């Protein structure tokens, strides 16, 4: 999977050089290229923005620089995502869907945004990371890269993705490590029993319980079997 990021602030992406993503890039499991939109300015002062037609506060990124930056990296397989609060809210399902793409171009706005004409020409999909407004699309682009990369082969340990929160529509069950007793609280006995079937059942029930307490609205779309539903009914009593 290749990510090309069109941004005016490539330095903001330093955090992706750390930890799991940094290692995955080094090991060629994925590629992240940062394209500075300013490099495509033909202006002698490298200007990329201008005032808004019709008046109003702030500056807008000019269409020609974005167009040229896009044309320098587009491919047959590329899909362009514009990070904007106007987009569809990113979900785990969308993350998984995007992980199947070969080449994502992430367009980051800054200032008041980008001239609509170039957006209409190149953007395939608009994505938001939540109903609040940030200073630019850089942090949302990093959120998208981080979440999508976890589905790319070789980035995480084998079963990490299938076991986690949201993988089956439920939140994750509680987990424990040594010591066996901490501040007088013992690790649940079943987890030390070595009985895999019982451990699996306990984790499933705990996941349903946690979801019911913290995010009950998720249960409407979670995949629950008859036993799960029975347990949920008991919880509700
Ligand atoms: N740009 C500014 N705010 C944003 C948000 N919430 N999601 C995506 N891009 C943004």
| Tens-place pLDDT, residues 31-79 | 999 999 999 999 999 999 999 999 999 999 999 999 999 999 999 999 9
Q: Where in the chain is the domain with CATH 1.10.1270.20?
A: 163-236
> What pLDDT score was predicted for residue 140?
98
Rounded distance from Cα 132 to ligand 1 centre (Å): 7
pTM, two decimals, is 0.93
Residues with CB under 6 A from ligand 1: 83-85, 128-130, 132-134, 137, 140
Atom of ligand 1 at shortest range from CA of 130: 6
- The CA distance from 153 to 189, in Å, is 35
State both tokens at 16.
């992706």
- The CA distance from 221 to 168, in Å, is 9
Q: Contact 210/172 with Cβ under 8 angstroms?
A: yes
Ligand 1, residues 86, 111, 126, 134: which to mutate, most atoms within 8 A of Cβ? 134
Rounded distance from Cα 137 to ligand 1 centre (Å): 5
- The CA distance from 131 to 114, in Å, is 19
> What pLDDT score was predicted for residue 111?
77
For 7, counting Cβ atoms within 10 Å of its Cβ (0-12 exposed, 13-18 middle, 19+ buried), the class is buried
Whose Cα sits closest to atom 2 in ligand 1? 134
Task: With H, G, I as helix, E, B as strand and everything else as coil, classify residue 234.
Answer: helix
Q: Please list the residues that pair with 125 across neighbouring strands.
A: 81
Domain 163-236 adopts which CATH fold? Answer: 1.10.1270
State both tokens at 106.
């992430």
Q: pLDDT by residue for the chain (237 residues), tens digit each? A: 999 999 999 999 999 999 999 999 999 999 999 999 999 999 999 999 999 999 999 999 999 999 999 999 999 999 999 999 999 999 999 999 999 999 999 999 987 899 999 999 999 999 999 999 999 999 999 999 999 999 999 999 876 776 666 768 899 999 999 999 999 999 999 999 999 999 999 999 999 999 999 999 999 989 999 999 999 999 999
Whose Cα sits closest to atom 7 in ligand 1? 128
> What pLDDT score was predicted for residue 157?
81
DSSP H or E segment with residue 198: helix 196-214
Q: What is the sign of the dihedral through the CA atoms of 196, 198, 202 and 204?
A: positive
Q: DSSP of 97-118, one letter per residue?
A: HHTT-SEEEEEE-BTT-B-HHH
> What pLDDT score was predicted for residue 159?
67
Q: Where in the chain is the domain with CATH 3.40.1280.10?
A: 2-157
Which DSSP symbol is given to 51? E
Quote the Cα angle for 177-186-230, to 5°.
90
Rounded distance from Cα 10 to ligand 1 centre (Å): 17
Rounded distance from Cα 140 to ligand 1 centre (Å): 6
Which DSSP symbol is given to 156? S
Measured in whole angstroms, the distance separating CA 117 from the mean position of its chain's CA atoms is 27
Kindly report whether the peptide bond that precedes residue 179 is cis, defined as omega within 30 degrees of 0.
yes
The CATH superfamily assigned to 2-157 is SPOUT methyltransferase, trefoil knot domain (3.40.1280.10)
Rounded distance from Cα 130 to ligand 1 centre (Å): 7
Task: With H, G, I as helix, E, B as strand and everything else as coil, classify residue 221.
Answer: coil
> What pLDDT score was predicted for residue 14?
98
Whose Cα sits closest to atom 5 in ligand 1? 85
Whose Cα sits closest to atom 4 in ligand 1? 85
> What pLDDT score was predicted for residue 182?
98
């Amino acid at each position: 999977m290749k990510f090309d990021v069109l941004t005016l602030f490539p330095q903001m992406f330093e955090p992706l050089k750390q930890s799991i993503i940094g290692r995955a890039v080094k090991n060629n499991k994925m590629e992240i290229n940062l394209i500075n939109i300013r490099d495509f300015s033909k202006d002698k002062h490298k200007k990329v923005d201008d005032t808004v037609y019709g008046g109003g506060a702030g500056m807008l990124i000019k269409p020609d620089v974005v167009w040229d930056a896009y044309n320098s990296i587009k491919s047959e397989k590329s899909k362009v995502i514009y990070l904007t609060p106007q987009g569809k809210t990113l979900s785990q399902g969308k993350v998984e869907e995007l992980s199947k793409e070969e080449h994502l171009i992430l367009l980051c706005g800054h200032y008041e945004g980008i001239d609509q004409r170039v957006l209409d020409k190149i953007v395939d999909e608009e994505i938001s990371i939540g109903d609040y407004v940030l200073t630019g699309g850089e942090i949302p682009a990093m959120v998208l890269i981080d979440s999508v990369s976890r589905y790319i082969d070789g980035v995480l340990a084998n079963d990490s993705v299938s076991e986690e929160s949201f993988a089956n529509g439920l939140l994750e069950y509680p987990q424990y490590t040594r010591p066996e007793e901490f501040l007088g609280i013992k690790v649940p006995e079943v987890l030390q029993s070595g009985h895999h079937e019982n451990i699996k059942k306990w984790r499933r029930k705990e996941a349903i319980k946690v979801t019911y307490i913290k995010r009950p609205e998720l249960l409407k779309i979670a995949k629950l079997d008859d036993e799960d539903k029975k347990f949920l009914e008991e919880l509700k009593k």
